[in-house]
Amino acid sequence: MRSIGQKEGSAESGAAAPRRLVILGATGSIGRSCADVILNAPGRFEVAALVGGRDGASLAKAALALGARYAAIADPAAYGELKAGVAGRGIEIGAGPEAVKEAALREADLVVAAIAGTVGLAPTYAAIAAGRTVALANKEPLVCAGAAVTRAARASGARLLPLDSEHNAIFQALGGRDASSAVRMTLTASGGPFRDWSLERINAATKAEALAHPNWSMGPKITIDSATLMNKGLELVEAHHLFAVPAERLDVVVHPQSVVHGLVSFADGSVIAGLAMPDMKTPIAHCLAYPERIASGATALDLAAIGQLTFSRPDLDRFPALRLAMAALRDGGGAPTAMNGANEVAVAAFLADRIGFRAIARVVETVLEQAAQAGELATPSSVEEALAIHHIARDRAEALLAKN
């Protein structure tokens, strides 16, 4: 993995060349915040390509607003909408998985990976294998195939910039030091909407209650993961791969204000923490301009106005999904991969009103037990092997749901 370094051009030669960006997941929560940051820094960025899932009209709007050269929509059924939306504006368009991959591989200085879910693995991996610098918001690909993804980055020289707020804070706290210099890395968790709820009340939580996150406005999948605390579990696996730290040096602390995002502890007792308002525009701006600093449009942090920052241990009895994820990380092998696959199916089923909140962790736990018994959790040595474990786990989860 290499350093992104300075942009072309220098202070002596006048204005630097704009940084060329590709945004995968341009119509989502992270994608829209990226657009805000880009529009807040005129002349600084150029958009080579945008990718969206199935909302052709929104992708067309984003492409026009950002002056994108190319826009690719994953769902071919949305091609007409995209085409109508950009008609006569000289933007190249495409649809389907090949078009998405083409977008991911357009010449660019930085690719933002912000598709939701493991479906983001293929284009993100393509960009990494091609040696692009990739700002990673999309955590599921690392949980699914972290070893293969980081190996591909080392082989191609691609740099991975952590965009997830906790990992971004840790990256900044490390300040260029080797991650092995840290004795501990701590991720904070807001605790989600059910932080203070009894187990009984959590088990009976409705979809509307689970979608009402107190601090962050995000896409539906990560919002449910934040309510179960599986999101923090996925982030532990993400940190393990991004920083090559073993499970026993990773920690989670509940911090309802979401102001301290990540902390790095060193051997001498020093702890360096990353603080910012809970607004993804801050880590996005950090990644987009790295190593320079630009205005993000986020509100400035005013600690006196916030008054109190509080911390507590996560309750693994009330939040079994985090316990499962910690165990999967310790077990290693294919366990995090299978866990992630089963969780995607369970969360989608909860969002479709097919199962209750408590059943999400139950489905994940049962799939992990079944997969272990069937000998399906060997360490995946390639993306293909990881996806095989992923799809078996998804099928197992679907089979469990079909029984209910």
What φ, ψ does residue 357 adopt, rounded to 5°? -65, -45
Q: What pairing do the DSSP bridges indicate for beta strands 182-189 and 92-95?
A: unpaired
**Nearest residue to the partner Mg ion, using Cβ:** 164
3 state DSSP class of 136: strand
Shorter beta-carbon distance to ligand NAD: residue 25 or 380: 25
* Interface pick for ligand NAD out of 22, 30, 142, 229 (rule CB under 6 A): 30
Kindly state whether residue 81 participates in binding Mg ion, applying the rule CB under 5 A: no
* Interface pick for Mg ion out of 164, 238, 344, 376 (rule CB under 5 A): 164
What φ, ψ does residue 58 adopt, rounded to 5°? -65, -35
Shorter beta-carbon distance to ligand NAD: residue 30 or 210: 30
Of the ranges 8-16, 46-54, 199-207, 338-346, which one interacts with ligand NAD (CB under 6 A)? Answer: 46-54
Pairwise CA distance, residues 63 & 50, whole Å: 7
- The secondary element (H helix, E strand) that includes residue 238 is helix 230-243
CB of 171 to Mg ion, least distance (A): 13
CB of 78 to ligand NAD, least distance (A): 9
User: Are residues 373 and 365 in contact, defined by beta-carbon separation less than 8 angstroms?
Assistant: no
Per-residue binder mask for ligand NAD (CB under 6 A), 110-149, x = binder: ----xxx--x-----------------xxxx---------
Pairwise CA distance, residues 3 & 285, whole Å: 17
- The secondary element (H helix, E strand) that includes residue 228 is helix 220-228
* Interface pick for ligand NAD out of 18, 96, 131, 219 (rule CB under 6 A): 219
Shorter beta-carbon distance to Mg ion: residue 165 or 223: 165
Count residues near ligand NAD (CB under 6 A): 27
Q: Give DSSP secondary structure letters for 13-45.
A: TSSPPPEEEEEETTTSHHHHHHHHHHHTSTTTE
Q: Give DSSP secondary structure letters for 140-164.
A: HHHHHHHHHHHHHHHHHTPPEEE-S
CB of 156 to Mg ion, least distance (A): 26
> Of ligand NAD, Mg ion, none, which one does residue 144 interact with (CB within 5 to 8 Å by kind)?
none
Binding site for Mg ion (CB under 5 A): 164-166
Binding site for ligand NAD (CB under 6 A): 25-31, 51-53, 55, 74, 100, 114-116, 119, 137-140, 164, 216, 218-219, 222, 280
